[in-house]
Amino acid sequence: MKKRSSRAGDLRHRERRFADREVSRGEGDDNLATREGRSMRLPLVDDDGAVAEEIEGNALADGLARVVDVVGPHLRAIALGIAGLLLAAVAWMWMNQQQSDLEAASWNEFLAATQTTEPGLRASALAEVVTRNPRAPAGAWARLLQAEMSLDEGARLLFVDRAQAEPKLEAAVEGYRGTLDLRPTGLLAERATFGLAVANESLGRLEEARQGYEAVVADHPTGIQAGPARQRLAALASGRAADWYAWLASQKQTPPPPTPRDDTPNLGLAGDGL
């Protein structure tokens, strides 16, 4: 009997020691942490890290589920928005291609017009380019060439028939201003500004001409028209230009006589008789 009692005591002693050790580690009683007011400590990892991976996987799944819950009611609107963006991109590419084709066609029309040698036909062809392409680059250059043709003709008639010269010069002024209204850059802007100044000077508008030459020098100091513009500014500053244009305006001009007709009878060659 004593032998069995001793063994039972040893067993109870071992159970108490095991329970104390488990309690000290916080693993013996699942409700111990709750009773003490502390949050229960869970094992983070085991030997293979499987527990930590499972916790992370559950957190990721919960996050995705919340995202789906938020986005789900708006999936149709999102899909429609994406489809609209794709359609807009396709429409933009199509319009850009169409614009490129139209611009190429306008340049072909411009080149065909400039290759016309007869002045009247050339002027008509350039006018057609301007009408068909009013704001395209080819249309702007066609308008500039129209103005330059009018300026050349007006300057040529200025010493012959001022009544015919002035409308040509006014047409040049209008053409240059129309070109500048398109806000051109580079050589196109430089030629239009200089041409407008020359046309104004030809009409005796010396102050407007001076402002135009100054704009050429200021905006295009290294351009091909900068040198001639400086020369005209020096001439206008001397005062002799004003006297000369005043003298020109005082001259009375009459149209040149018509070319006489040759009414001499053709007597033929010698030996052929009358």
On the 0-12 / 13-18 / 19+ scale of CB atoms within 10 A, 234 is exposed
- Quick one: CA torsion of 144, 147, 151, 152, rounded to 10 degrees? 70
Task: Give buried/exposed letters for 168-195 (b at 16+ CB in 10 A, else e).
Answer: bbebbbbbbebbbebebeeebbbbbbbb
Q: Average the pLDDT over 92-101 and give the result.
A: 61
Residue with the two structure tokens 């063994």: 7
Largest interatomic CA distance in the chain: 181
Q: How far is CA 85 from CA 71, 99, 244, in A?
A: 19, 21, 67
Which amino acid appears at position 29 of this protein?
D
Distance CA 188, CA 140 (A): 8
The C-alpha atoms of residue 166 and residue 169 are separated, in whole angstroms, by 5
For residue 265, the model assigns a pLDDT of: 42
Of all residues in the chain, the percent with pLDDT exceeding 90 is 39
What one-character-per-residue DSSP string does 168-207 give? HHHHHHHHHHHHHHT---HHHHHHHHHHHHHHHHHTT-HH
Pick the range with the lowest mean pLDDT from 27-31, 48-52, 232-236, 269-273: 269-273
**How many C-beta atoms lie closer than 10 Å to residue 211's C-beta?**
14
Percent share of the chain, pLDDT over 70:
55
Is residue 223 within 8 Å of 216, Cβ to Cβ? yes
Q: Is the pLDDT of residue 255 over 70?
A: no
Top-confidence residue, 29 or 220: 220
Q: Which two tokens stand for residue 74?
A: 């708006």
Mean pLDDT (the chain) is 76
**Of 158 and 90, more confident:** 158
Look at residues 244, 259, 261 and name the one whose alpha carbon lies nearest to residue 159: 244
Q: What's the rounded Cα separation, in Å, for the pair 40 and 30? A: 8
**Prediction pTM value:** 0.60
Which of these, 94, 184, 189, 100, lies nearest to 137 by C-alpha position? 184
User: Residue 83 has what pLDDT?
Assistant: 67
pLDDT tens-digit map of 54-86: 555 566 666 666 666 666 666 666 666 676 666
Mean pLDDT of all residues in 93-113: 75
| pLDDT greater than 90 at residue 50 | no
Q: Is the pLDDT of residue 30 over 60?
A: no
